[in-house]
Amino acid sequence: MKINFLKSSIILGLAFVIGLASCSKDNKNSSYSPQSQNSTAAVGVQLINNVKLGDILTDKTGRTLYSFAADSTTAAQSSCNGDCAVKWPPFYDANPALGTGLNNADFGVITRNDNTKQTTYKGWPLYYYSGDTKKGDTNGDGILKAWFVSTPVYKVMFAM
């Protein structure tokens, strides 16, 4: 009975994730605007309002940060290594100054398989997408139904 419940939960979760991904297909030319920022320090991570996705996490230059659904299967580890990490480079800032609306307690650092560091948000390792060419791009959102723009609102993601 527990297995059937688990299968049903996973199927519902996948349907939710697929629904989210399908809502944001055409986002290549999305407009954005930065939230007010902490003016006393150079911001390392900030929120930018994307017209289609709402508030999203970006680095200090406005480059979008992503989460990978497969990371949910490993505790405090990145599942994106080797060639994957070339296409989805890890984001790392040892102690990022945060923009308005972000909480220091939500950020952490992990050590990757190659002994480099990676910043996490609410336990999820953060990445860039190599297909984003300018600040505010969100071209990686929904790829393989496993890559998602990181948002301040925690979204449940299930790995397939």
Each residue's pLDDT tens digit, 93-145? 988 999 999 999 999 999 999 999 999 999 999 999 999 999 999 999 999 99
Best CA proximity match to 95, nearest among 115, 109, 77: 109
Distance CA 65, CA 53 (A): 13
Q: For the chain, give the mean pLDDT.
A: 77
Please say if the pLDDT value at position 46 is more than 60. Answer: yes
DSSP assignment, residue 122?
T
Strands of 107-111's sheet, edge to edge? 107-111, 117-121, 124-125
Distance CA 28, CA 138 (A): 6
Is pTM beyond 0.85? Reply is no
Distance CA 97, CA 34 (A): 15
Distance CA 138, CA 36 (A): 21
Helix (H, G, I), strand (E, B) or coil at 30: coil
Length of the chain: 160
